[in-house]
A and B are shown apart, each in its own frame.
Chain A
Amino acid sequence: MSFIILVPLLPLLAAIIVAIGTRSSQTRRAKIAAYPIGAAFLGAIVALWLVATQGPLTIRFYDPSSLSMLALPLGFYIDRLSAVMMVLIAGVGTIVYIYSIGYMYQDLHDRRYLALIAFTVSVLLCMVSSANLMMLFLLWQVISCLLYLLAHNHSHEATREGAVRTFTLLRVGDVAFLSGIVLAHQLYGTLEFQALFAKAAESAVTLTPLPGIEIGGATAVTLLLFIGAMSKSAQFPIHIWLPRSLYAPTPVHALLHAGIINAGGFLINRLAPLYGLSSTTLHVAFVVGMVTAVLGATMMLAQNDIKKTLGFSTIGQMGYMIMECGLGAFSLAVFHLIAHGLFKATVFLSCGNVIHKARQEPAFPHADPRAEEQEFSRLTWATGFLTTLLIPLVILLVSHGVLHIPLRDSQGTVIFLFFIWVTSSQAILTLIRLRAVASWKVSVAMLLILLFVVFIYLFAVESFTAFLYPNPEEVASYFQAAALPNWLFDGLIVGTALVIILGWFYIYAQARGQIMWVPSWVDGLRIRLYVLFMNRLYVDELYQALGRVVMRVVHRIDKRDTRWS
């Protein structure tokens, strides 16, 4: 089984093949390098099969009892989570690399770019298969550097500034991550995953960071590590690096949005047993994720640039994924990040063609709004309304009444049902917005979407959860740790349900040309909010102002010191 360590090494070999050689053989070498990356993908699939059938694999090139000694703690721990992530990364990496060969053909910097893509895939594969927290952190930082190099066009003045900001923000996350590691080592004396989980579970340590304030050891560690995860997964308010990096070649975004940005979600899942010990951190994650999901999605709606729209869509989805972690649905978060990764990689790889097509056909993709209005159909609307509201209600009643699933006591089950419902509503609302024509085909499509989403989620709930976390008690313990107060949980569900119902009525009224009375202050507020979200809540400007204040203080101190000496 030791051959599995070749999986992360093969893309490294590809990077070396691309980077070293003459300019004349560049194209040939670029094509040859695709084979090792493809082989890594096949190897990742084999690894997944092996760890699924034979259990986790551990390979260490260091002494685990002396992690803090003078040695690089190089090792691999490949379990089902690692293997799933390896398949995703190697798969997307292979597609992105092959696409990039053609996309970057005859570009001045194709060698550097292709080598960095292959190297990034290698680092990501090593990161998800790290044997300990220390090695994970080492590679985590390398990813920060690669993002700085890869996701920015350094010959573009404005982007260069963005690159510094990206790196600085990622370093803030790195510092928090490092503090978490140091604290974990101080409290539990190890950074080996399994030993760390075991020690954290058996020793309840209380810290006093400030007089009068007490905090659990596991909470302090997980909170610090969570800040690290926030930075990589672009969570509010340290999300601004992602939209800033949109000047890079399109395939970089495919890799970034499908692979690198998932690092935060992976970290939380890797440390799930540790996070399961701290309800506070899970609740913080839930709030941060929810705020990011709402703000990301809202800012996405107010953008007028396709790449920025996709960038904010990713931020929203990452918020959604972190929110799932905060609810204790760790396997759902992994499932989400895989689905999102594949979807976003496809969208980014094809967005260049869409832009190209739009330039050739100025009317594309906008249809005539009047035509849309005329095509409004009660049949379509009613089907959508019923499928998103009535069928889920029936499912809920059946599961509670017939199958005797204790919904009131089981937030976990409700969470899964809730996500099924929200996702299907989102898909159907999108469909009706795009094709609100009177057609049985559209109505059938809605029902099929609902069925598709339900089956996919059922798979996620049953098979995927059982695959990643075979012990049902473990899954239940995470839900228990993440459980929100009942009034809050019910309030959130009712609130979201109201938003969806109102959405349907709004669509109906708008399509029928009916005027909805709203107070004038709401109208004014709507315009202000639109401007606010279009300008991304002025968070970039706030950071700039903060940077200016810091530098002003720094220069004042420097001047005083110079005068004194």
Chain B
Amino acid sequence: MTDLMTTPLLLAAVPIMGAMLGLVVWSQPDKLKIWSVIVTVLSLLAVIGISGQLTETIEGPLFLYLLPLAAGISLLGGPVHQQHRLACVLTLLFLGLGLGILTSQQVAGQIVLAILLGLITFLLYWHHNPFWPRSWWGIGAYGVGALCAGLAAVTGPPVSAQASLLACAILLPLVPFHHGYVSALTRLPGSLPSFIVLLLPAIGFHSLVAVIPMVPEIAVSMMTILALVGALYGSIKALAQSRVRLLLAYGSLSFFSILWWFVAVSRTIMPQAVVFLASVALVTSGLLLTWQVVRTRYGDDVDPQAISGLFRRMPQFAVLFSLLALAAMGLPPFGVFAGFMGMLLTASLTSSAALLVMMVAWLAASWYILDMVQRLLFGRERSDLRYEDLRRSELASLLIVVLIVIALGVAPASLFGIKQQPPSVGAVKESVSWNR
């Protein structure tokens, strides 16, 4: 019992204390950044030290490892600037809350989740721009999410399960509850979006593991339909975007919808789904960081159409960006492909139409991601642009992302301690109807 209480407290305390201590060097952004990175390393060490005492879950300690890593990567890849100080401190704070939620028990976890969502709602409101009215939808979505988490903490089943499921749909974005996620990725300051993109879906997924056995059949059917609609909707929206962050938000929404579909169909959480989620989130995080690199050089409001020809002048950036793009398209040997393939092979597919939708979403990713790569890397070089390749910290952060995504694709089970399950699919012995 003591362990159950102390583990989350300890894991949460390291980054939260770090965030508080960071205020000491508030006036020196460079030192604040270094301190924040050190704190994430300490958090990772704490997770590694405690991992043996954690309760065994299907996702294993993967998310616990990845959260400090993603936070560290976001901080490392972000620029040193006065405007990014808040993002540094908040990254540590959110990391602490996230680790707390992932390791604490149901009620305490829901309360901390309500606090986290409340904070993000406040942040979105703080950064609300009248030229971007859609962020009201995001503020509303996370507000509802916070309420649902609170409700799940204070009520019992079936209300708590339903409230929890709704909170999951907001955290791990599912159409039509995706506005919060899109707003968070596009409106939050500094390097926060590249951390949030892993934090919230990971928490949502973690909650889903507990909720999914309690979800009634009608809700599962709704989930299936919404997931299929979401996969197509995300792809269509991503195809239509010219802004990189929106493209990445909708692209990842499409992939998360695929995940929702598999969860709804199998009614269980497979290890392959964990790999898929972690990879999609990390790759999106990496791509957001690469876009941050461009923004650092050419301004926050840079038009992606105006930047081109980075391939020759920024070769390190070009190679890492291309690798992340390949991963985002679902190509081997990256984790997105491994997870997607694993889910396809282990799930029991009875609907050809659903498989077609999955494939269309997968194919569309090649289209919009490649279009983005072509525009940025291979266009005409501009003589009026100053090209500067990756700085050491940026290079390190992107390299780590690429290596983790490859590791997730090659050997996730042995590297991240994911619990493997025997395959459930066997040979079909008789005639099957495959027409739903």
**Which residues in A have some Cβ–Cβ distance to B below 8 Å?**
66-72, 134, 138, 141-142, 145, 154-155, 157, 160, 163-164, 167-168, 171-172, 175, 178-179, 182, 185-190, 199, 203, 205-211, 217, 551, 554-555, 557-558, 561-562, 565
Contact = CB atoms under 8 A, between A and B. Distances in A.
Contacts of A205: 428, 430-432
Nearest to A134: B341
B363 to A, nearest CB: 5
B434 A208 contact: yes
B433 interface: yes
Interface stretch (B9-17, B68-76, B259-267, B325-333): B325-333
B155 to A, nearest CB: 30
Contact of B342 (A69, A171, A179): A69
12 contacts: A68-B345, A68-B423, A145-B331, A160-B374, A160-B378, A168-B366, A171-B329, A171-B363, A185-B345, A209-B434, A555-B240, A565-B179
A162 to B, nearest CB: 11
Nearest to B240: A558
Nearest 4 A/B pairs, CB to CB: A68-B345, A558-B240, A189-B427, A70-B413
A178 B342 CA distance: 12
Nearest to B380: A157
Interface string B408-433: 01111100001010110111111111
Contacts of B366: 167-168, 171
Contacts of A187: 427-428, 432
Nearest to B274: A70
B181 interface: no
Contacts of A203: 427-429
Nearest to A69: B420
B28 interface: no
Nearest to A199: B427
A557 B240 contact: yes
A247 to B, nearest CB: 13
Contacts of B363: 171-172, 175
B271 interface: yes
Nearest to A210: B435
B175 to A, nearest CB: 11
Nearest to A207: B434
B276 to A, nearest CB: 11
A70 B342 contact: yes
B387 to A, nearest CB: 15
Contacts of A138: 332-333
B140 to A, nearest CB: 11
Contacts of A163: 374
A454 to B, nearest CB: 45
Most buried by A among B240, B326, B427, B429: B427
For the residues of A in contact with B, the DSSP-based class is: helix
Contact of A145 (B326, B355, B359): B326
A168 B364 CA distance: 9
Most buried by A among B338, B366, B430: B366
B374 A69 contact: no
Given A142-B332, A178-B344, A203-B427, 17 more contacts: A70-B342, A70-B420, A134-B341, A141-B331, A141-B332, A154-B377, A160-B374, A164-B371, A171-B367, A175-B363, A179-B359, A182-B344, A182-B345, A188-B428, A205-B428, A557-B236, A565-B134
A427 B406 CA distance: 51
A164 B374 contact: yes
A70 B331 contact: no
Nearest to B348: A186
B409 A554 contact: no
Interface in B342-359: 342, 344-346, 348-349, 352, 355, 359
Contacts of B362: 175, 178
B239 A71 contact: no
A268 B374 CA distance: 33
B109 to A, nearest CB: 27
B311 A70 contact: no
Nearest to B335: A70
A157 B378 CA distance: 9
B435 A186 contact: no
A70 B425 contact: no
B428 A66 contact: no
A155 B377 CA distance: 10
B237 interface: yes
Most buried by B among A67, A138, A199: A138
A558 B182 CA distance: 14
A313 to B, nearest CB: 29
A208 B333 contact: no
Contacts of B240: 554-555, 557-558
A209 B352 contact: yes
A68 B326 CA distance: 22
A175 B425 CA distance: 21
Contacts of A160: 374, 378
Nearest to B350: A186
A71 B370 contact: no
B275 interface: yes
A67 B345 contact: yes
A154 B378 contact: yes
Most buried by B among A72, A178, A179: A178
A561 B425 contact: no
Contacts of B332: 138, 141-142
A72 B409 contact: yes
A163 B413 CA distance: 36
B272 interface: yes
Given A205-B431, A211-B435, A68 B346 contact: yes
Contacts of B434: 207-209
A561 B237 contact: yes
